Structure 1
Amino acid sequence: MVAPEPGVVSDVRVRPGQALAPGDAVVAVEQDAAQTVVVGLFPGHYRPLLGAADTRVSLALEGFPDSRQDVVVRSVADEVVGPAEAMRYLGRDREGALALNGPVVVVVTVLPSDTFVADGTEYRVYDGMQGTLEAKVRSATLLETLVPALQHL
């Protein structure tokens, strides 16, 4: 089989003698000028509050609490999907790596580079790493939060 575009094999996801089924990911191929993409799953009830493309969100990679960085949203899905559909979107090789409870909306972001810095050391971002995306969906002053009636004045 030939890859549809030139690139470098960045991850081999099978071992010798492993049985394969149609649709199984065998390798990951990175394009030379490829962008590092992060797929986020937000609770479905946040869909009306999530902005469109070019919104900035914050990413912290799991295991690296001081790796927080701003990333740019490339797209926000128009539909809210159930956990099974979200897992199909992420791919068969992610089964068991993530537990979803309830409907979600898919948000695709782009990292500024394929590396990140934590504790003063630069690390590479690898396919399958997990983290937390945070988006500012509402803003209110502390006083408005404590006295909600002030928001309607």
Structure 2
Amino acid sequence: MLRLSPRWTRWAYWVIAIAFATAAVYCASSSLHEYASGPAVVWISGRTHVTATVTGTVTAIDVQPGQAVEPGQLLVRFASPVELAELQRIDREFELQLAKSLRDPADQAAREALVALRTQRDVAAARLEQRSARAPQAGVIGDIRIRSGQLIEAGDIVLTLVGHDTRCSVMAMLPAHYRPQLRPGLSMRFEANGYRYAYQPMQITAVGGQIIGPDEVKRYLGQEIGDTISVQGPVVLVEATPATSTLLVDGQSFELHHGMSGIAEAQVRTESILLSLFPSLRVVLRRLHG
């Protein structure tokens, strides 16, 4: 008995054969990229934290955000009734002893008192000066972290001072097992939180030499940023420099600011799709090349 196959089966055979051949060529010629992914934060260098040297209550803030300041300019004043009263008392005593010395130049006791009062006045003036904060360098006022009437402790950040020479970079915390594959020059991209798919391309400029844990990451980032980043397990710090300090979203440019967080992805390996589907081919290729 003679059986004739339908005509469409021949067409289906060739369609399947062509599709298989196309898929084989695609798998052999195309590649898959492996990325090391982890949390990241925008880091603006050239920022200085001005801190309080004593515990006290803020009485006056003499600057505003965005204001340019010069070295030594007064920024913040703290309540200092005791120090001010002591300095005024010494000044009055100094004037009395000076008047005695002028009336009687031979009065040795008045002269000795003047010498002692000068020293006391310098010490009192220094203590009064500690009840204020001055600009350590020229720059522009960034964030002001205090308000008038607030009680702060010694070491608390009063405000930030942005220098004239600033540099924008991205600090990424990538999984520690990728450390052998990470090196300067690799490509990395940054996606800021709230700006989905707005990738910022950049190159890795530095890779940490040690593996660190979550607590060390928080200590490195500081109290202002450390609590905003969630790190699980050991990581390696990676620094990358973007081409610009702006983020392009739907044709609009937005400035990157210190502390903005997001996700960083560093390309660590490229492999053909064929080898990914058939890992045993790696052994065959090694033998052919070995």
What TM-score does the superposition give when structure 2 sets the normalisation length? 0.48
CA contact (8 A) 1:56 1:71 kept: yes
Tell me how far 1:141 sits from its aligned partner: 0.7
* Alignment RMSD: 2.0
Who is 2:160 aligned against?
Answer: 28
Q: What aligned pairs does 1:56-135 form with structure 2 within 5 A after superposition?
A: 56-135=187-266
Tell me how far 1:8 sits from its aligned partner: 2.0
Tell me how far 1:15 sits from its aligned partner: 4.1
> Secondary structure of the equivalent of 1:84?
helix
Tell me how far 1:21 sits from its aligned partner: 5.5
- Structure 2: unaligned runs, 5 residues or longer: 1-133, 286-290
Larger deviation, residues 81-90 vs 63-72: 63-72
Who is 1:41 aligned against?
Answer: 173
Q: Alpha carbons of 1:26 and 1:103: their partners in 2 closer, same or farther (altered >3 Å)?
A: farther
Tell me how far 1:40 sits from its aligned partner: 0.6
Who is 1:3 aligned against?
Answer: 136
Q: Alpha carbons of 1:121 and 1:69: their partners in 2 closer, same or farther (altered >3 Å)?
A: same
- Structure 1: unaligned runs, 5 residues or longer: none
Which one has a bigger Cα radius of gyration? 2
Q: Alpha carbons of 1:100 and 1:92: their partners in 2 closer, same or farther (altered >3 Å)?
A: same
Q: Which structure is higher in helix share? A: 2
> Secondary structure of the equivalent of 1:34?
strand
Tell me how far 1:126 sits from its aligned partner: 1.2
Q: Which structure is higher in strand share? A: 2
CA contact (8 A) 1:56 1:135 kept: yes
Counterpart amino acid of residue 200 in structure 2: Q
Tell me how far 1:87 sits from its aligned partner: 1.0
Q: How many residues align?
A: 150
Please state if 1:143 is matched with 2:265: no
Q: Which runs of 4+ in 1 moved over 4 A?
A: none
Counterpart amino acid of residue 19 in structure 1: I
Who is 2:89 aligned against?
Answer: none
What TM-score does the superposition give when structure 1 sets the normalisation length? 0.85
